[in-house]
Structure 1
Amino acid sequence: MLYRHNVTFDNVATDVEILDSSCCMVTGCLYDHITWADAFVLVYSICERSSFDHARALLETLVAVRGARSAPMILLGNKRDLEHCRQVGVDDGHEASLHFHCQFYEVSAAENYVGVSLAFQSLIRETRALQALRTLPIRRKAGAAMTVSKMIGIVFGKSHKSNRNGKKRPSLSI
């Protein structure tokens, strides 16, 4: 299932497409989704060890197909409100995130949306920064000082020149 949404934060509007790839176990389309996406969110239940093991296996697949650090990733533990049913420790999530060079959050989608929202905002910021880095021309060391200030403007949405030049609004596929 594909979800489309427009988000605005940091004064930048971004079109986001979220593809729920949970059906890939049946249809076998995981490889297509791995090559399509700009970023990845791997969700597991803290109450179900097998879901964490599956998320970890997917992280291994992502790194094998895309390479380490080629796309932003979040390991997202859900159901934090069900602490009494916990089977996956916070340390397990931290360890996996360090191993796979990805962000890690534990949230409770049932309690409120704030944690989920913060995780997605962080992922979108990282993806924007990576996309901005990829679009910069390769320069020699002499131009590096000028590039830093431009990069800060691009990442944090302070550059309004891109909107005036008729460039397309940023979009991300997750």
Structure 2
Amino acid sequence: EAAYERTLTVDGEETTLLVLDIWEPEQQGEGSRRRSQCLQVGNAYVIVYSITDRGSFESASELRIQLRRARQAEDIPIILVGNKTDLVRCREVSVEEGRACAAVFDCKFIETSATLQHNVAELFEGVVRQIRLRRGGKDSHQHLSPGQKHKESLTRRARHFLDRLVARNSSKGALKVRSKSCHDLSVL
């Protein structure tokens, strides 16, 4: 378990983020309880996968589903991050697949290289902006009618995404998704 603070200035306002890197995959017993606790706390979630490891991408997608189930009544910012862009020759997950997953699961998307610090500052600034946008926009969402709040079910979106993922070998355009703005971390 790693914890650190990162202080940054976003839109002229200084902010300190407390970052907890506590997720450990495939644990039993105590680790499983900690995983459940991780899903219940936090003002934002950054789900990271390696672009060089399709298994980590699939695990990230599954974690996204678990997270939304655990906090379905809340509008928590979730950012899907494809890391290790410096290893582009070993890429197993395309940018299009990452964007499609983010669009289907209604979260933001960015690719980074922690080694080269590429898009890392943008990621943290995006986390801060997403938290601010969602906190500031709560009042406007309370006035919507139930019909306006209706979204396609998570299960249906996941199934649709997986159908397109499986179909990727049969047609080049299978994963092209029109996204609201999954790549723009400064808007909802």
TM, length-normalised to structure 2: 0.66
Check 1:4–1:135 CA distance in 2 against 1; reply closer, same or farther (3 A cut): farther
Cα deviation per residue 1:63-122 (whole Å; 9 max; x = unaligned)? 1111287111111001111111111111210111001111111112222x2401112211
> Larger RCO: Structure 1 or Structure 2 (Cα < 8 Å, ≥ 6 residues apart)?
1
Structure 1: gaps spanning 5 or more residues: 140-155, 157-174
Asked if the contact 1:40–1:72 (Cα under 8 Å) also holds between the matched residues in 2, the reply is: yes
Cα shift at 1:5: 2.5
Asked if the contact 2:9–2:15 (Cα under 8 Å) also holds between the matched residues in 1, the reply is: yes
State the superposition RMSD in angstroms.
Answer: 2.5
**Matched residue type, 1:126:** Q
**Matched residue type, 1:37:** G
Which residue of the partner structure matches residue 122 of structure 1? Answer: 126
- Paired with 1:92 and 1:75, the residues of 2 have a C-alpha distance of 11
**Matched residue type, 1:8:** T
- The SS at the match of 1:36 is coil
Match status 1:30 vs 2:35: yes
Q: How does 1:23-62 map to 2 (within 5 A)?
A: 23=24, 25-26=26-27, 27-28=31-32, 29-62=34-67
Q: How does 1:80-91 map to 2 (within 5 A)?
A: 80-91=85-96
Equivalent pairs: percent with the same residue?
31
Which residue of the partner structure matches residue 104 of structure 1? Answer: 109
Which residue of the partner structure matches residue 136 of structure 2? Answer: 132
Cα shift at 1:50: 0.6
27-36 vs 58-67, which moves further:
27-36
Cα deviation per residue 1:7-64 (whole Å; 9 max; x = unaligned)? 2221212221111122364312122122210101011110011110111110011111
Structure 2: gaps spanning 5 or more residues: 144-185
Which residue of the partner structure matches residue 20 of structure 2? Answer: 19
Q: 2:75 aligns with which of 48, 70, 85?
A: 70
Asked if the contact 1:68–1:100 (Cα under 8 Å) also holds between the matched residues in 2, the reply is: no
**Matched residue type, 1:51:** S
Which residue of the partner structure matches residue 4 of structure 2? Answer: 3
Asked if the contact 2:50–2:57 (Cα under 8 Å) also holds between the matched residues in 1, the reply is: yes
Larger radius of gyration: 1
